Structure 1
Amino acid sequence: MALKPSLRDVLPAATHDPARATLVSLQDAAAGTPWFVRILTGFGAWVASLFLIAFLSLGMLVGQEAGAIILGLLIIGGAITVRRLGNNVFLTQLALATGLAGQGLFIGGVGVLSESPEVAAMATLVLQAVLLFVYPDTTQRFLSSLFGGLALLILLRLLDAGVLMDVALVGLTVLAHLLFLNQGRLQRGARGELVTPAAFGLVTTLLYSLLMRSWLHDAYVSLFREGTAELPPGVLTLGLAVVTLYSAWRVLQETDSNPGGATGVTAFAALGLLAVLTLQTPGVIAATGVLLLGFHRRSVVLLGMAVVFILVFGVGYYYDLQLSLLAKSLALLGSGLVLLGLRFFILRRFPAAEEVR
C-alpha cells in the first residue's frame, strides 16, 4: 500500500496546534446543524425564491425586454447583498437561487432585445466574469466558470470560428491543469478562494464540450451553425495529449520521481500510446488527464468525474471503430491483455511502498 502521510508529517511542528484547532472548529461548525435540517432549509429557500421570481416576472411579457434586463440586474445585486449578510444555509441558498433567476432574466432580455445569439453569449461571458470575482459563494463561482467557459466556446462557434473554438478548448484545458497543479500556492494568494471552483468549472466545461462533440455531433453542429470549419479530432486529441503529458511531467517532479527515468518513460509511453490509439475520440485522453489530476490532488470528485467520462468516451470510441463486431471483440480482448500485461510490468518494475502504521 502507498504511504498516506498525516498532517503531522507534512506540516512544520510550530503549526500543529493552530492546524488542530482549525480542524476542530470546522468539525464543530459542521456538526452544529443536522444534515437533513440543512437540506430542508435549502429547499425552503429555493421554493421561496421561485415564488418571488414568479411574482416579479408577471409584468415581464413580450415587449418588456428592457424591463427584464433591469430587473435581472437588480435581482443579481440583491442576491450579492443577501449573500454577504451571512453564511447560514437559508440565506446562502436563497441568494443562489435568486441570483440564478436574475441571470436568466438578464441574459434572456439581452438576447431577445438584440435578436442576436452572439450578443447574448457575449453578455453571458461578461456577466459570469464579473460574478466570479464579486459573488462570495463557491457554488456560484463554479457555475460562473462553467457558464463563462461554455459562453466563450459558443461565441466562437457562432462567429464562424470553429477552429478557434477548438484552440480555446485546449487553452481552457491548460488553465484547468495549471490551477490544479498550482492549487496549494495559488490558494495562499489574494484570490485563493477562486482557484478550486474555477478549476472544477473549467474541467466540467471541457468534459461536457467533448461529450457533445463525441456523442451528439450532429445536434452539436446544427445547434451552433452548420458549415463551420473545425479541427480534425486527431489534432484536438494531440493537443489535449500534450497538456496531459505536461501534467504527468509536473506530477513526477513533485513526487521526486525522475521524469527521464524508467518511471517517467513508462508513464509517457503509456499516455502517448493511449493518445495514438484514440485519435478520433479526444475525450479519452482528456478524461485520463483529469484522472491524473484527481490522483495527484487526492480529489474524490475529480476521480469520480474522470472514471465516469472515461467509461462514456470509451463506449463512444468502441462504436466509432469502423470494424466488424468480430474485429471489435478481438480489439477489446487484445487491449485487455495489453493492460493486464502493463499492470504486471508496473507491479514488478515499480513495487508499491508498504504502508506505515
Structure 2
Amino acid sequence: MALKPSLRDVVSQLQVEGVLAGDAQALAGTALASRQDVTTGTPWFVRILTGFGAWVASLFLIAFIALVVTASEEVGAIILGLLLTGGAVVVRRMGNNVFLTQLALSTGLAGQALFVGGMGSLTDSGEAAAAATLGLGLVLLFVYPDTIQRFLSALSASLALLILLRLTVPGVLVDVALVGLTVLAHLLFLQQGRLQAGRWGEVVTPTAFGLVTVLFSVLLMRTWFQDFYGSLFREGAVELPPGVLTLGLAVVTLYSAWRVLEETGVDTGGTAGVTAFATLVLLAVLTFRTPGVIAAAGVLLLGFHRRNVVLLGMAVAFILNFGVSYYYDLELSLLAKSLALLGSGLVMLGLRLFILRRFPAVEEVR
C-alpha cells in the first residue's frame, strides 16, 4: 500500500538528473534479481504455515493468561487486554520474521478486544467502550510498527469516533465529521509522497486506507441498511439530508481534482480543467440522493493519481455498488429507468470521444 514508483521511473529520473550514467537496463536487471533473491528466500507455503502456527500459539497464550487472572471478570478482562496489547507491541519490535509478526498481531487483536469489552462491561456504557477504542487505536497507530495493525487502528479509531459522536452530539454533526474524515483521507493521499518522507511516514498510507474504508462502510450502511443505520442515532436525532452530504463530498472531490490538475501541469482554467470540473459537478447533481457515487469518484481520482491498484479496485467496486443503489432509488418506471441508463451510457461514450479528440494522449517513449 506504500507509494512505490516503478524502477523505470526511478532510473529515468536519475538519468535526467545526470546522477546515473551507466546502463539503465543492466541496473534494472541487477535490482530485480536482488529483489527476487529477497522475496523468494522463504517459500510461500512455509510463511503461511509459520503464520498459522503463530495464531495457534497466541490462542494458547491467551488461554493460559486468562486462567492466571483471578480478579473480577470486567477488571480481569481490562488487565488481561492491556497485558496482551503491551506484550504484542514489545514482541513486534523484537523482530520482523513471519512468526513474530503474526504472533504479535493475533495476540494484540485479542488484547484490544478484551480491553474494550471489559471497559464496556465495567461501565455499562457504549460511550466508554467507544472512547476506549478511540484512545487505544490512536496510541497503537503510532507505537505499533506494523502496516496491518496501523490500518486496523485507523479503521477502529475512526469508527469509534463516529459512534461516540452519535451517542453524544446531534446526528447532523456525525455526517459533518464523516466529511471531515474524508478531507483528511484526501489530504493524506494528495500529500503522500511528502508526508512519507517525514518522521511518521509509515503511518500515512495505512491511515489513509483506514479512513477510506470507514467512508465506504458508513455510506454503504446508510445506502443499503437505512433502518439499522437510523437506529444507531439517539431517539429524536436527525441525520444530514443525502443532498447536503453529497454537496460536502462533492466539494472535497472538486478540491482533489484541482490539486491533481495542478500537479500534472494542466491549466485549471482551461478547457481540460473546466471539462473535469463540469463532469464532477454534473455527476454530483445527477446522484444527489446517493452520496456514495461522488465519494467513490473522488477515491477513483486519487487511485489514478497515485497509481494504486488497491485504491482503484475499492473505488470501482463501490462505485458500481452505489450506482446500483442509485438506479433502484429512481422513482421511475422500468422503461424510464432503462432509457435513463441508455442515455447516460451514450453521454459517457460521447464524453470519452470528446476527451480523446480534444485532449489526445501523448505517446509514451520507451
Q: CA deviation at 1:90?
A: 0.7
The equivalent residue for 1:344 is 353
Check whether the contact 2:70–2:76 (CA below 8 A) recurs between aligned residues: no
Segment drifting more, 179-188 vs 39-48: 39-48
Asked if residue 10 in structure 1 is aligned to residue 19 in structure 2, the reply is no
The equivalent residue for 2:4 is none
Check whether the contact 1:8–1:16 (CA below 8 A) recurs between aligned residues: no
Equivalent-residue separation in structure 2 for 1:55 and 1:132 (angstroms):
28
Q: Which residue identity is paired with 2:116? A: I
Q: For 2:301, which of 284, 292, 303 is the aligned residue?
A: 292
How high is the TM-score relative to the length of structure 2?
A: 0.92
Find the residue that maps to 2:19 and give its secondary structure. Answer: helix
Deviations 1:175-229 (A, max 9, x none): 1111110111111111111111111111111111111111111111114444311
Equivalent-residue separation in structure 2 for 1:129 and 1:26 (angstroms):
34
Q: For 2:146, which of 110, 123, 137 is the aligned residue?
A: 137
Q: For 1:173, which of 157, 179, 182 is the aligned residue?
A: 182
Q: Which residue identity is paired with 1:95? A: A
Equivalent-residue separation in structure 2 for 1:158 and 1:212 (angstroms):
17
Q: Which residue identity is paired with 1:212? A: M
Check whether the contact 1:253–1:259 (CA below 8 A) recurs between aligned residues: yes
Q: For 1:149, which of 158, 162, 169 is the aligned residue?
A: 158
1:50-61 pair list within 5 angstroms: 50-58=59-67
Asked if residue 48 in structure 1 is aligned to residue 57 in structure 2, the reply is yes
Equivalent-residue separation in structure 2 for 1:216 and 1:235 (angstroms):
19
The equivalent residue for 2:262 is 253
The equivalent residue for 1:186 is 195
| Same amino acid, percent of matched pairs | 73
1:109-124 pair list within 5 angstroms: 109-124=118-133
Equivalent-residue separation in structure 2 for 1:224 and 1:47 (angstroms):
39
Deviations 1:88-118 (A, max 9, x none): 0110011000000000000000000000001
1:253-332 pair list within 5 angstroms: 253-332=262-341
Find the residue that maps to 1:230 and give its secondary structure. Answer: coil
Asked if residue 38 in structure 1 is aligned to residue 47 in structure 2, the reply is yes
The equivalent residue for 1:221 is 230
Say how many residue pairs are matched: 353
Equivalent-residue separation in structure 2 for 1:173 and 1:314 (angstroms):
20
Segment drifting more, 190-199 vs 4-13: 4-13
For the aligned residue pairs, the C-alpha RMSD in angstroms reads 2.1
Equivalent-residue separation in structure 2 for 1:61 and 1:250 (angstroms):
57
Q: Which residue identity is paired with 2:147? A: T
Q: For 1:108, which of 89, 102, 117 is the aligned residue?
A: 117
Structure 2 unaligned spans of 5+: 1-6
Check whether the contact 2:189–2:205 (CA below 8 A) recurs between aligned residues: yes
Q: Which residue identity is paired with 1:52? A: L
Relative contact order, higher structure (CA 8 A, sep 6+): 1
Structure 1 unaligned spans of 5+: none
Equivalent-residue separation in structure 2 for 1:305 and 1:276 (angstroms):
23
Deviations 1:302-343 (A, max 9, x none): 000000000111111111111111111111111111111111
Check whether the contact 1:160–1:229 (CA below 8 A) recurs between aligned residues: no
Segment drifting more, 317-326 vs 51-60: 51-60
